[in-house]
Structure 1
Amino acid sequence: MRRLAMIVSYGVACAALLLLGVPFPREMFMLFVAWTGTALLYHMMLRRTRTRTAANRIQLFASCADVSLLTGMFALIGGAWWVGAMVHGFILTFAFSSLPRRLALVVAGYAIAGFFIMIAAQTFRAPGPAFLGVPSLGGNYQLATMVALLGGIALIGLAIVQSAFVQIMRRAQERYRGLLEIVPDVIVSTNLRGIVTAANAAAMRLAGPRADDVVGQPLGELMAGDEQAIGRAHFRAARKGATRQFVIKVNGPDGTPRWLDCTCKGVLEGREIAGVLFVGRDITREKEDEEALRRTEEQLIQAQKMEAVGQLAGGLAHDFNNLVSVITGYCGFLRKDLAGDDARMADIREIQSAAESAASLTRQLLAFSRKQVLQPKIVNLNDSVVQLEHMLRRLIGAQIEIKTRLAADLQLVKADPNQLDQVLMNLAVNARDAMPHGGVLELETENVTLGAEYARTHPGVRAGQHVQLSIRDNGTGMDPETQARIFEPFFSTKPPGMGTGLGLSTVYGIVRQSGGYIWVYSEPGLGSVFKIYFPVTEESLDGPVDAAPPDELLQGSETVLVVDDSESLRPVVKRILRQYGYSVVEAASGEDAKSVVEDHPGPIHLLLADIVMPGMSGPELARDLARRHPDMRVLFMSGYAENAIVREGLRHPSAGFVEKPFSPETLAREVRRALDAGCAQGTVANTGELSFPARSTAVTQISDGRASPASVVQRKD
C-alpha cells in the first residue's frame, strides 16, 4: 500500500509540474511506466503468496527494483536530485518497517549506493535546467561533493537509526512473542481476508504436520469441514467491530477433532480494523468429561428407572407366586381325590397347565428383577453352546445359518446352566425375528480382560478376567431409541399379540444376577451384536448331582412348623404335609411362631418359613429359635428373595430352600431332604449368626452390583 501511495503521489506531482511547464525527459516517463508496472506485478504476486518467507523475498526484490528505477528517473531530472535523495530515504525507511532486519539492511545498502549513483550520474551529465529553483549538479563538482557527503551521511545515519529502532522494536516483539509462545492458548491473527499472518506455538502444535504452512493459509483450513461456516460468520462479525465468543471444532495434529473455546475481535490500526485476532483455549478434555458425565447421568437415570420397575415386577411376581402355589396345591388335592377316569381330571389338567404358564411368566419377571433363585454350577460356556446348538437350529429355522467360534482354552464361569440355556434361546429368538428373510447367527466365546478404564466408565462393572459370549446377527438392526429400551420389561417392537416383551429383560436379569454384564451394539440395516461378560471362577467343574429320592420315600411323621404371612397359602402347605404324614403347626408371623414353639408340648423337628415377611423375616426367626432349639431343622421358601436377605439366611451353600410356586411332590421332597440330610441349625456363634452343616443339594442366590441396563448397554465408537 505504501508503494502504491508513493506511485500515485509521484504521478500527481509530475502531472502538476507538467501543467506548470516544467520539462521532463521522455526516458523518465518510460522509467515511470516501468516502475508502475513493476509495482502492480509485485502486488499481484504478493496476493497469491502463502508463506511469510516468499512474501519477504518478493518484497526484497520489489524494493531493489524501486531503488533502481527511481535512481534512473531522478538521474534524468537535472535539479531533482534532492527529491531523489528524499525518495531513497523513504524506501530505506519502508524497508526497515516491512522486512526482517537482515533483508532491510540489504535494501538500505542498495538505496545508499543508488543515491551515490544518482549524484554521480547527474554530476557527469551536461548541466540541466533547475528544478523548482534548485540547480542541476551537472559539472558542479563542488556542489555534487557536498550533496553526496551530506546526503550519504544523512542516509547512513537514517539507516543506523532505523536499524537500532527496529532492533529495539524486534526485541520488544520477541519478549511479547515469548510470552505468547508459553501461553497454552491458541493465538492466531489474520488479515481482513482471513489469511493467517501470525500464530503462536500452541497454534503450531495444533496444526501438527501443517505447522510450517499455517502463516499464509486461510484460517478456515484449520477448522473442521462442518464448522467452517460457523467460523466465517464469527469472522465477518469481528471484521465489523464485534467481539464474539464461541466453541468450535478444529482439526487436531493427527486429524482427530479438537474443541476450542474461542474469542475473536477486530485489530485496530489507527481508527480502522486491519485484521482479526483469534484466541482459543483447548477444551477437548472438558468436552469429553462433559460427554462422559452426560452418559453417566443417563445411565444412572436408567438404572433408577430399571430398579424401580424391577422392584415393582418382583413384588408382583412374589404375590402372584403365592396365588399360583395355592392353585397348584388344590389341583394336587383334586387329583388325589378323583379317580383316574373321572371326566373332571381334564379340567384339572387344564387348570394345572394354566398355573404352570403363570409360574413361567412370574419366573421371567423375577429374572428381570434379579430376584429369582438360581442354582449356579461351574460350567464351560462352550459346552452350553454345543449342547444347545441342535435345538437352536430347530428353533430359528433352516433359512438362518448358525456359525460358532469357540475358544479352545475357554475359562470356567459360575452360573445356572438352565438359565444360560434360557439366555441363549431368548437371544436366538430375538435374532430370528430380526432376520425375517434369513441370515447368519454367529455364536462366539473367548477369554477377555476388562480393564480399569472400562470399569471406571461403566458403573457396576468390575475389572478383571471374564469370559465373553457374543451373539451376532445381520438382521434389521435397531435405532438408538430402541436400544435404550430393549431391556425394559414388556417393551416390544412387535405387533400386539406377537410377543410379551419379556425375552430380553429376562436375559438382562439372568446375566446381572449371575454377576455378569451385557452390552449391545446395533445399527439399522447392519444387524446387532450382544456381548455378555461372565467373571471367571477358579473353581473346578461340578460332579454329578445326587438323584432325588423316589415319592414312596417322602412320607414322614415329624412335626413341621409352617410360618408364612399368606393366609391362602398356609392351609395349602399344611394340607400337603399332612397328606405325607407330617404333624403340622402354623403361624402367620415370626412373633406368632415363637409363641407356638414355646407353647407346643413336643419337639418341633423342622421350621418351614417364608424368607420375606412383615416384621421378623424367616432368617431372623431361625436365628432366634436356634438359641433355644438348636436341633430344629430349617427350610426356607419364597417366591423371591432380596439378595441381602438371602445371603443372610443362606450363609452356607447347603442351606435348604424351596422355590414358590411348588407342587406337592416338590415340597414333600425338599422337606424330606432337609430332615434326612441333617440340615440342623447348628450352634450360634458369638456374632449370633447361623452356620449350617453341609447337605447334598446346594441352592444359592447370586448377588449383583445393582447396575442397570444403561450401565452396560453401549454404542460403538
Structure 2
Amino acid sequence: MLKPPAVALCESRNFAIAPSRWGHHHLKTRPGVRDAPPEVSAPSPEGSERRFRLLDEQIRVLERERQKLSAVVHHTDAGFLVLDASLAVAWANSVFARRFSRGAHPVALVGAACNKVLCGEDKICEQCPAARPFVTGSVAHHEMRLETPGEIRDLYVTAVPIKSLAGETDQCIVMVQDVSDLQVLRRSQESLKASEERFRSIFENAATGMATVNTEGEFMQVNAAFCKFLGYTPEELVGKRVDQITHPDDRATTGQVLQQGRSGSLRVVEIEKRYLRKDGSVAWGHTSATWIQDARGRPLYSVALVQDVGERKTAEEALRRSEARKGAILDTALDAVISIDHRGTITEFNPAAEQMFGFRRDAAVGRNMAELLVPPRLLEGHQRGLERYLELGTGAVLGRRIQIQALRRDGTEFPVELAIARIPLDGPPTFTGFVRDLTDIKQAESALRQREEQLQHAQKMEAIGTLAGGVAHDFNNLLTGILGYAELLKMGSKPGEKVHQAAEVIERAASRAASLTQQLLGFARRGKHQNVPVDLNATIQEVMGLLVRTFDKNISLRQEFTPHSAAILGDPGQVGQIILNLAVNAADSMVEGGELAFRTEVVELTEDQRRRQDGTRSGPFVLLSVSDTGSGIPPEVLPRIFEPFFTTKECGKGTGMGLAMVYGIVQNHGGFIEIDTTVGRGTVFRLYFPLQRSEDRPEGAWSAEGDVMPGNGTILVVDDEEAVRCVATAFLEEMGYRVLTARDGAEAVEIYRSSLKSIDLVIIDMVMPKLGGRECFRALKEINPRLRAILSTGYDFNTVAQEILDEGMRGFIQKPYQLRQLSEVVAAALAA
C-alpha cells in the first residue's frame, strides 16, 4: 500500500508520525536518531482529514523546494557544510568533500571539527566565520587562503545561522567558494583599471603628441601636446581625418600606411612626414603608431606618438647644406684634398686629387696612401713619421707647409706643396692633407731664374758693351787723327822717303787698332753694319772653303743646308766673321780631331723661346747650328764665354774677343744664341736670325768705292776732338774747300748764325758736350730750314743715327774715315 507523500517524506528524513490527542499527527524523533524532529501524533477525528490534506500539500511544497535546494547544493561549485553549535560537521555535500577535503566521502566528514575539515588545523581559528553566527546570530562573510601541498587557493566563506523554533541559533550552514579565478580576474580588472588610468594620465600629460586613430583614419582622442604641435583645439581635431592635416606630398605614403594597418599586415609603423598646422605652416613630425587588435587579430584603432622634429630637420637640412657646401668646395677646389685614417688608408679623394695623381676616387679610397702616392725612396720616412705621431702625438709636418715629391699613377714624380692637419674627431686619429701641384710654379720659377740670369747677363753684357763702345768711340776719334795725319804725311812725301815709310808704319798700326775697335763696336752692337740680304748657305760655303785649306786633316767638315731660302738681313762680312770665329773655337776644342758640322734650317720659335726673348719679332727664323765633338765647355766657364777679353786659352793664343764679337753681331742682327754643351762630348751653338723674305736691297746701303772728289765752298766742322777737327780741316782743304771749326754745338750755332750765307755744309759729331749732335742740328735748322748737314760719329750707324738722319741730314760718315770716303759723302751731300 502506497504511503501518502508526507509520510514518505517524513520517513525518508527519519521522522515518525505519531497519533495526537487532538486527532492529528505529531512529528517526533525516532529513538536513536540525533536531532530528529518530534514524531507527529494522530489528529483528532473531526479535523484529521482536512489537516492531513493541508499538511500533505505543505509537504509536497517542501519537497519541491528541497529538490531545488538539493539540485543547487549538489550541483554548484560551492561546498556546503551544516555545523552544530560545537562547530562539528552535521552534514556535507559532495562538492565540499571533493574540492576542499581532498576527496573524502561526505559521510566520513560528519562529526569532524570544522577547523580540521576546512583548514586542517587542530584548534578553532581565531576569526572562524562559522562561529560568528552562533555569537551574533547574523550572516558572516570571510575571505581566506587555503594552502595545500602544491596548491594555494583563495576561498570566500559565508556562514548562515539556522535558528530553532525557540529562535536560537543551534546550527549554521557554511558555504565555501573557491574564488582564486575571481581574484585573478579582479586583480586583472584592477590592473587594467590602473593601467587605463596610467595611460590616461600619460596620454593627457605627455610632452609628446599622442592620438588615437580609428580604422577610417579619424582622430578619436588627442592630447594637449598634439594640439599644441598643430595649433588646434581637441574639439577641432577629434573626428578630423589624418590626411586633412598631412602635407599633400606625404598623403600617398600616409594612406598606404593606414591601409596596411587596416588590413592587419602592419602592426607597428614609424614614419617621418610633414603636417599642416592650423595656420598653414608646415611641421615635421616623427610618427610612431601601434595598431590595437581584438582577440581575433582584427585592428580596432591605432595609438600614435608624434614627436616634433622640426628643429632636428632644420639642423639636418643645415647639416646637409653644410655637407653639400663642403662637398662642393672639395669638388671645386683646385688643390687636392686627401684624408687618411690612422693606418694611412685613404678615406677621401677629391676631383682635384683625381686629376693631379691620375687615380679615380673609387680606385684610391681604401688604398694605402703611401703605397699609392709616395715615391718608393720616401716610403720609409713617411712611415716613420706616421708611427712617431701615433706613439708620441706630435709630428714634424703637422700644421705647416712643406715641399716634397709625389708620385703620379704613371710613375712620374712631381713637386707638391703639402699641408697636413689632424681632424679633431673622437677615436683614432685621422688626417687631411692639402696638396698643391708645384709643377707649373717650379717651371715658372725656373723660367724666372733663367730670365733673371739672362737679364743679369744682358745687363752685364750691356754694361760691358757700353764700356767697350765708349772706348771704341774714343779710340776711333783718336785713330781718325792718327790715320788722317798718316795719310797726309804719305800724300806730302814720296814713296821710299823715310817720312813716307814712317807714315805707312803708323797707318798699318792704326789700321790694326781700328780693327780692334771694330770688334769692340761689333760686341757693343755699334760696329759697321751693312743692311743687305745675306745668304747663310753661301756664306758658310765660302768660310768652309777657307777652313778646308787651314784646318788639320783630322778634323772633318760637314754641312747640311735647308732646301728653303736661308737669307737674312745684315752685314755679309760680320756674318762670315761669326761663322769663322765659331769654327776656330770648335777646332781649338778638338785637339785630337773630330767633326765640325754646319746646319741651317727654317724654324718657328717655341712659346718658351718667345717668352725668353723679349723684343724678338715673331715669324720664321733661320737657325744656324755649329756643332763640334770637342772637349765641351765646363759649367763654371759657360756663363762668361761671351765676356770681352775672357779666354781660357794660353797666353798669346787668344784675345778673348772672338765669342764676344759673335754675341754682339748676332744681337745686332736681331737674333739670339742658345748653347748645348757636354764636357767630353762637344758643343752646339745655335744661332737664330730673322728670315729675310724680300730680296730687295734695303734703303741706305751705300758703297765706299771711288776716287777723291774735289769741290769748293765753305764747310763748318763741329767736333769736340781737336785731332778730328784738324784732320777733317786738312782733308777738306785738300779737296778745295774752305773750312770753319767749332769745339761743340753751342759754338757751332753762334758761328753759323754769324756766317749763315757763306756756309754750304756742316759736319756734326753726334756726341759732344754742352749741345749734342741732334740738338745742334735742330738749332741750326731753326736758323736755316734748308740746312745741309752730315752726321759723323765714332759709333755705328745705329737707331739714334738713323733718327737724326730722318730729321733731314744729308749723309753719314763713321770715324775713323779716309780722305776718299769723306770726299764722297761731302760731294753727295752738296749735290742733294
* Aligned-pair CA distance for 1:406: 1.1
SS of equivalent residue, structure 1 residue 481: coil
Q: CA deviation at 1:263?
A: 2.5
Distance in 1 of aligned mates of 2:656 and 2:808: 34
Following the alignment from structure 1 to structure 2, what is the Cα–Cα distance between the partners of residues 225 and 268?
30
Determine helix, strand or coil for the equivalent of 2:526: coil
Single out whichever of 374-383 and 654-663 deviates more from structure 2.
654-663
Offset from partner CA, 1:550-608 (integer Å, 9 cap, x none): 43x52222322111011222112111222232221111112211222233385322221
Aligned partner of 1:348 in structure 2 is 503
Contact 2:344 2:369 in 1 (8 A): yes
Q: Is the 8 A contact 2:528 2:797 kept in 1?
A: no
Question: 404, 417, 420: which one pairs with 1:248?
Answer: 404
1:336 equivalent among 469, 475, 491: 491
Q: 1:462 aligns with which of 599, 614, 617?
A: 617
| Deviation at residue 659 of structure 1 after TM alignment | 1.5
- Change in Cα spacing, 1:530 to 1:496, as seen in structure 2 (3 Å) is same
Tell me the number of residue pairs that the alignment of Structure 1 and Structure 2 aligns: 507
Q: Matches of 1:537 and 1:516 in 2, distance apart?
A: 12
Aligned with residue 634 of structure 2, among 458, 476, 479: 479
Do the aligned partners of 1:238 and 1:264 also contact (CA within 8 Å) in 2? no
Distance 2:381 2:818 in 1: 71
Where do residues 361-376 of structure 1 align in structure 2 (5 Å cutoff)?
361-376=516-531
1:424 aligns to 2:424 (yes or no): no
Which aligned pairs between 1:313-328 and structure 2 lie closer than 5 A?
313-328=468-483
Matched, 1:216 2:337: no
Q: Distance in 2 between matches of 1:311 and 1:656?
A: 25
CA distance in 2, matches of 1:590, 1:354: 32
Q: Report the AA paired with residue 387 of structure 1.
A: E
1:312 corresponds, among 455, 467, 488, to 467
Corresponding residue for residue 161 of structure 1: none
Alpha-carbon deviation of 1:479? 3.4
- CA positional deviation for 1:638: 0.9
TM-score normalised over the length of structure 2: 0.55
Whether the 8 Å contact between 2:557 and 2:597 is mirrored in structure 1 is yes
Return 200-209 or 305-314, whichever deviates more: 200-209
Structure 1 residue 342: Cα displacement: 2.1
Residues 322 and 566 in structure 1, CA contact (< 8 A), matched pair in contact too: yes
CA distance in 2, matches of 1:374, 1:626: 28
- Tell me the distance in 2 between the aligned counterparts of 1:543 and 1:491: 36
Query: 2-side partners of 1:442 and 1:505: how far apart?
Result: 21
Matched, 1:610 2:610: no
Counterpart pick for 1:206 among 356, 360, 370: 356
Change (3 A) 1:583 1:282: same
For 1:230 and 1:247, locate their aligned partners in 2 and report how far apart those are by CA, in whole Å: 14
User: Which structure 2 residues correspond to residues 567-586 of structure 1 after superposition, within 5 A?
Assistant: 567-586=722-741
Shift of 1:478: 2.0
Q: What displacement does 1:660 show?
A: 1.3
Give the C-alpha shift of residue 357 in structure 1: 1.5
Aligned-partner Cα distance in 1 for 2:718–2:781: 16
Q: 2:559 aligns with which of 374, 380, 404?
A: 404
Quick one: which of 246, 255, 259 aligns to 2:415?
259
Cα displacement (A) at 1:377: 0.3
The aligned counterpart of 1:540 is 695
Judge conservation of contact 1:619–1:648 (CA < 8 Å) in 2.
no
Q: Which moved more, 1:578-587 or 1:248-257?
A: 248-257
Whichever residue aligns with residue 444 of structure 2, its letter is D
Distance 1:547-1:417 versus aligned 2 partners, 3 A rule: closer
TM-score (norm 1): 0.64
CA distance 1:344–1:246, change in 2 (3 Å): same
Amino acid in structure 2 at the alignment position of 1:390: G
Partner of 1:484, secondary structure, is helix
Does the CA contact (< 8 Å) of 2:720 and 2:743 recur in 1? yes
- Offset of residue 442 of structure 1: 1.6
After the TM superposition, which of the residue ranges 199-208 and 176-185 deviates more from structure 2? Answer: 176-185
Rounded Cα–Cα distance in structure 2 between residues aligned with 1:624 and 1:254: 73
Q: Secondary structure at the match of 1:261?
A: strand
Structure with higher Rg: it is: 2
Cα RMSD, aligned residues only: 3.5
Name which of structure 1's ranges 595-604 and 526-535 shifts more when overlaid on structure 2.
595-604
Q: Distance in 1 between matches of 2:593 and 2:772?
A: 52
**What are the ranges of 5 or more consecutive residues in structure 2 without an aligned counterpart?**
1-319
Which residue identity lines up with residue 637 of structure 2 in the other structure?
T
Residue 220 of structure 1 deviates from its aligned partner by 4.8
Partner of 1:38: none
- Verify the 8 A CA contact 2:718 2:741 in the aligned structure 1: yes
CA distances 1:497-535 after superposition (whole Å, capped 9, x unpaired): 322211111111111112222222222223222222222
Distance in 2, Cα, partners of 1:432 & 1:241: 66
Structure 1 residues 308-352: Cα deviation after superposition (integer angstroms, max 9, x where no partner): 222111111111111111111121122223331224544433322
Secondary structure, aligned partner of 2:358: helix
Corresponding residue for residue 267 of structure 2: none
State the structure with bigger RCO (CA 8 A, min sep 6), 1 or 2: 1
Q: Alignment identity in percent?
A: 35
Higher mean C-alpha deviation, range 503-512 or range 449-458: 449-458
Contact 2:490 2:499 (8 Å CA) reproduced: no
In the aligned structure 2, how far is the partner of 1:671 from the partner of 1:257? Answer: 70
**In structure 2, what is the equivalent of residue 89 of structure 1?**
none
Greater share of strand:
2
Structure 1 contact 235–264 (Cα < 8 Å) conserved: no
Please say which of residues 379-388 and 201-210 is displaced more in the overlay: 201-210
Flag the structure with higher helix content.
1
For residues 332-381 of structure 1, the C-alpha deviation after alignment (integer angstroms, 9 at most, x for no partner) is 12222333122454443332222112111111111111122311102222
> Are the counterparts in 2 of residues 242 and 265 from structure 1 also a CA contact under 8 Å?
no
Alpha-carbon deviations, 1:686-714, whole Å to 9, x = none?
xxxxxxxxxxxxxxxxxxxxxxxxxxxxx
Residue by residue over 1:181-236, the C-alpha shift from the partner in whole angstroms, topping out at 9 and shown as x without a partner, is: 55444344556665656644444443326973674346155234555566456445
